[in-house]
Amino acid sequence: MRPLSRKRLRILKVFALLSQIRWYNILLLIFGQYLTALFVFAAPGDRLEAFADGGTHMIIWASALVLSFGFLTNSFYDLEADTINRPKQTAFERLVSKSTSFRVATLLLVCGLLLSFTVSLRAFLFFSAYAAGLWLYSHKLRSIPIVSHMSAAILGMLPFFGISVYHHFLSLHTLAFGSLLGVTLFSRELLKDMMMYKGDIIVGRHTVASEYGLDRTRFALLISNSLAWVPAFFTKGLFSQEAEIGIVLILILLTISNLTTLRSTELRALRWAHLGYKLVLIIGVLTIPFL
């Protein structure tokens, strides 16, 4: 086998770093925040003005940079279990050394905080606390069952809360929709426990699946899925017809994904269910303009 050229190796390292950062989640976050700022917070006649607002861009990109820092930090702590659960992807991501990943994570954090500081001191303090929360999740909370799942869901939704505060916009229907996506993120963490069960058992990580077993994790998924219908049902009159269609699609796909976990313990089936969760989040983002 011919050795890789330096140029090709550098390109592979860039892709490996993007994989560690979970670039698809970052892009979805950026896209969702822009849709929220332009279609939820701004009136139809003020969208051009909202897009021209520099603070909106700073808040969105600060969120993306700080969350990227969080993903990189999490990859440090998950390395041992990830080597067992997804060896090929982990081996690819390890093309980038730990020292390089650490320097990039630090740079992303500093850039994110500087961007937030250009908006206001309050934004800087918010994102500083957010970064601390991301580190605390990776360092400590990740190994506490249920608390880790709630923390992941809250941290996933906080950037949207940040931009809501910046635009001074909070309403019942947006909180209800955010609760639906928050429950989705919580359920997704339970599913990831099942997917990572083998590695977590070997390295001794405390998760719902490793501590209470796969059957109880499936039961928790059913409870979580049932709770997802609550905010949508009691606030359905507040949404437009298009938004209601999106919410129904989310709930149906969420239910199908969870039922998939009941029928099989094979990793392939769990991956299909995980793909369903990714589609749920995409549909959720695409529903934002109709809220």
Q: For residue 22, what pLDDT is reported?
A: 85
Domain ranges of the chain: 9-144, 171-291
Which token pair is 286?
């695409």
Q: What per-residue confidence (pLDDT) applies to 197?
A: 81
Which pLDDT belongs to residue 134? 92
First and final C-alpha spacing in the chain: 55
- What's the CA gap between 28 and 286, in Å, rounded? 10
Retrieve residue 218's tokens: 């499936």
Query: Quick one: tokens of 155?
Result: 């941290």
- Whether the Cβ atoms of residue 60 and residue 163 lie closer than 8 Å to each other: yes
Measured at the alpha carbon of residue 155, what is the angle toward residues 206 and 280, in degrees to the nearest 5? 90
Residue 1 is predicted with a pLDDT of 47
Q: Are 84 and 202 in contact (CB under 8 A)?
A: yes
Residue among 155, 230, 219, 227 nearest 190 (CA): 219
**Which CATH number is correct for 171-291, 1.20.120, 3.40.190, 3.40.50, 1.10.3470?**
1.20.120
Q: 9-144 adopts what CATH topology?
A: Tetracycline Repressor; domain 2 (1.10.357)
As a whole number of angstroms, the distance between CA 174 and CA 161 comes to 10
What was the pLDDT predicted at 62? 94
Tens-binned pLDDT, residue by residue, of the chain (291 aa):
455 567 777 787 788 888 888 888 899 999 999 998 888 887 777 788 878 888 889 999 999 999 999 988 888 777 767 777 777 777 777 777 788 888 888 999 999 999 999 998 999 999 999 999 999 998 888 888 888 888 888 898 888 888 887 877 777 777 888 888 888 888 888 888 888 887 778 877 788 888 888 888 888 888 888 888 877 777 767 778 888 888 889 989 988 888 888 766 677 788 888 888 889 999 988 998 887
163 and 33 Cβ atoms separated by less than 8 Å = yes
